Amino acid sequence: MVRKWALRAVIAYFLFGIAMYVYLFFLTDTSIPHMYKGTSIDPATFLNSRELMLSEEYSKIWNLMFFLAEPYQWLFYYLILLFGISAMFERWAGKTTKWFPLQTIIYLFWLSLASFVATFPFAYTSYLFSRTYNISTQYFSSWMKDQFLDFWISYATMCVVILVIYSMMKKFKKKWWLAVWVLSIPFSIFMMFIRPVVIDPLYNDFYPLKDKQLEMKILSLADEADIPAEHVYEVDMSKKTNALNAYVTGVGSNSRIVLWDTTLERLDDEEVLFIMAHEMGHYVEKHIYKGIAGYIMLSFVGLWLTAKLMELWIQKRGTVWKVNSIISISSLPAFLLITSILLFAVSPLTNWVSRYQEMRADRYALETTEDRDAAVRTFQDLTRAGLSEVNPPYLVKIFRYGHPTMLERIKMADEFERESD
């Protein structure tokens, strides 16, 4: 029975992969509408023939890998339950100590290590693919260092989070999800507060912007937006990528304005100012706080659903999985599987909200800088640097895109120009 269910799960994964391959490579049309041919939206006007070819190839493969990654993680969680591996990890932890917190820490180490090993080929393939298309500039040793950092940071965070969750399960048999939801709110805000100053510097070097004239222009924009920032930070991302980015991160006194050095090297000052005005638009529109409010509402529903589904699933399959009850730490893969599926299922909604906010930030940047040419050049340069599709397939847009498509962004800038004129 176990082998039969495992075989079914593996076959389902491969059939899904084939379906997505056919959809992305044969059933979708990513060309722009005829009415935009020859305009600033048309990639043929700002990409050369090689860039057009690479963009099409890269986007299709990268999109396929995206759609394969999440179900691959689900398959891992399901098989580790089905073959009793999770229960085995719990037994190992139980033989080491009778103290529940230490049992949980030991169990999480084995589960995290198994997940790291199982997903490493996938992660390494993604790394090689990015190197091949010259998106990543990172040496293997540096990439592995980041992988180990990811592992230990994720492991440490998981130890805290899972200890709290299973302690609440033991204390509140039926309403544990409500207690977890309440505790998750201050924890999430705390992580947002410390990430810019504690976690991010572990991966990259941050230092004050070298171009002081540009810094003064950016801080002038920040002052108009009432952003409490005294410095603009530059980060040495060129060691890892050719992509471009900038962001405003943190909350309160830990707010930071950050520019990737790749952005500074490849964009002119007007484009940099447009990008920074866009990021500041998020601050002005209070998107961080609206995002927190949205997270609070979605996590309430999500944890309630997870609790109900997990209880039903353990009752039905717990014997096969050798998982005695929901409060057994060996039930964790079921918790992670359900929450991951729910997050993926709700991603079209969260991405839609994100795209709306990004469009609002674009409009703020246009109104603030009054430089529509810079906006169009910025979007074109971002397309070139990331080998992005101007008009991606529908499923890619709703499941992957937290930003509007480049077609939508350039079109909005063009319409803004006509409105202003």
Active-site annotation, residues: 279
Euclidean distance between the first and the last CA atom of the chain, given in angstroms as a whole number: 70
Name the token pair of 176: 């544990």
The C-alpha atoms of residue 82 and residue 2 are separated, in whole angstroms, by 6
Convert the chain into a string of H (helix), E (strand) and C (coil). Answer: CHHHHHHHHHHHHHHHHHHHHHHHHHHCCCCCCHHHCCCCCCHHHCCCHHHHHHHHHHHHHHHHHHHHHHHHHHHHHHHHHHCCHHHHHHHHHHHHCCCHHHHHHHHHHHHHHHHHHHHHHHHHHHHHHHHHCCCECCCHHHHHHHHHHHHHHHHHHHHHHHHHHHHHHHHCCCCHHHHHHHHHHHHHHHHHHHHHHHHHHHHCCEEECCCHHHHHHHHHHHHHCCCCCCCEEEECHHHCECCCCEEEECCHHHCEEEEEHHHHHHCCHHHHHHHHHHHHHHHHCCHHHHHHHHHHHHHHHHHHHHHHHHHHHHHHHHHHHCCCCCCCHHHHHHHHHHHHHHHHHHHHHHHHHHHHHHHHHHHHHHHHHCCHHHHHHHHHHHHHHHCCCCCCCHHHHHHHCCCCCHHHHHHHHHHHHHHHC
The C-alpha atoms of residue 140 and residue 137 are separated, in whole angstroms, by 10
* C-alpha separations of 74 from 115, 130, 336, 367 in Å: 11, 24, 8, 44
Contacts (Cβ under 8 Å, ≥6 apart) of 149: 202, 203
The C-alpha atoms of residue 248 and residue 278 are separated, in whole angstroms, by 10
Contact by Cβ (8 Å): 243, 386: yes
The C-alpha atoms of residue 257 and residue 129 are separated, in whole angstroms, by 30
